[in-house]
Amino acid sequence: MTQTHWKKLHNPDYLGAYSLADNSGKYTEQVVTVSKVEMKRVKGLNNKEEDCITCWFVQHPKPMILNATNCKQLVKLSGSEFVENWTGVSVTLYVSKVKAFGDVVDALRIKAAKTPSKEELNPTHQKWDGALAAIKSGATTIEAIESKYKLTEENKKLLI
């Protein structure tokens, strides 16, 4: 049975820590890519409106409201203080316990994206023959293949 975290009902228009909870309530990390950052008028739980920085991700239909902590992380990870330069940056969303509002709460945070490890390309790999043909025809280079796959020195020699 699918269960609904109660906070999803309070502010369903924005991502929060609850967005990373699975059906057992355990939080997972998620790698996402920034698609845009903009100011948006946001209505809070008390119906009070305020302007907030919102960050949209390619992988989500809802934005995240960015606080100063998460903005500073995006500056660090993008290398730019300009929000226009944050587009295309991949980050990991995770949940951290923080002191806020006189309590300890779960907060949605941003950190560097974990880079997935590359698959090794070798003669038994299903893409080997295609890579070999592309190298021989000049359609690709060893460098281009290495940007997507791990290659041992021995396998590089086999491709050349």
For 8-48, how does the pLDDT look when each residue is reduced to its tens digit (9 = 90+)? 556 678 898 888 988 788 899 999 999 999 999 998 777 88
> Looking at the predicted structure, is the pLDDT value of residue 150 above 80?
yes
Element holding 35 (H helix, E strand) = strand 30-43
Q: Which of 78, 95, 112 is the endpoint of a domain?
A: 112
Q: What distances in angstroms separate CA 38 from CA 12, 95, 107, 111, 119, one per listed residue?
A: 19, 23, 21, 20, 37
**Is residue 93 domain-shared with residue 141, that is, in the same domain?**
no
**Count of domains for the chain:** 2
Q: Give me 15's structure tokens.
A: 């991502």
Secondary structure class of 52 (helix, strand, coil): strand
**Helices (H), ranges, 1-152:** 7-10, 68-78, 128-137, 142-146
**Is residue 53 domain-shared with residue 103, that is, in the same domain?**
yes
* Nearest CA among 88, 87, 53 for reference residue 67: 53
Q: What are 77-112's pLDDT values in tens digits?
A: 999 999 999 999 999 999 999 998 889 999 999 999
The alpha carbons of the chain give a radius of gyration, in whole angstroms, of 21
Secondary structure class of 18 (helix, strand, coil): helix
**Is residue 49 domain-shared with residue 79, that is, in the same domain?**
yes
pLDDT value of residue 160: 86
Of the two residues 13 and 122, the one the predictor is more confident about is 122
Residue 74 lies in a domain: yes
Q: What distances in angstroms separate CA 95 from CA 8, 23, 55, 103, one per listed residue?
A: 15, 16, 17, 16
pLDDT value of residue 5: 56
Query: What DSSP line would sit under 62-97, residue for residue?
Result: S-EEE-HHHHHHHHHHHT-S-GGGGTT-EEEEEEEE
Cα separation, 129 vs 56, whole angstroms: 40
> Looking at the predicted structure, is the pLDDT value of residue 2 above 70?
no
Residue 143 lies in a domain: yes
**Is residue 71 domain-shared with residue 108, that is, in the same domain?**
yes
Percentage of the residues of the chain whose pLDDT score is greater than 70: 91
* Nearest CA among 154, 40, 15, 8 for reference residue 94: 15
Of the two residues 50 and 7, the one the predictor is more confident about is 50
pTM of the model: 0.67
**Is residue 36 domain-shared with residue 64, that is, in the same domain?**
yes
**Is residue 15 domain-shared with residue 48, that is, in the same domain?**
yes
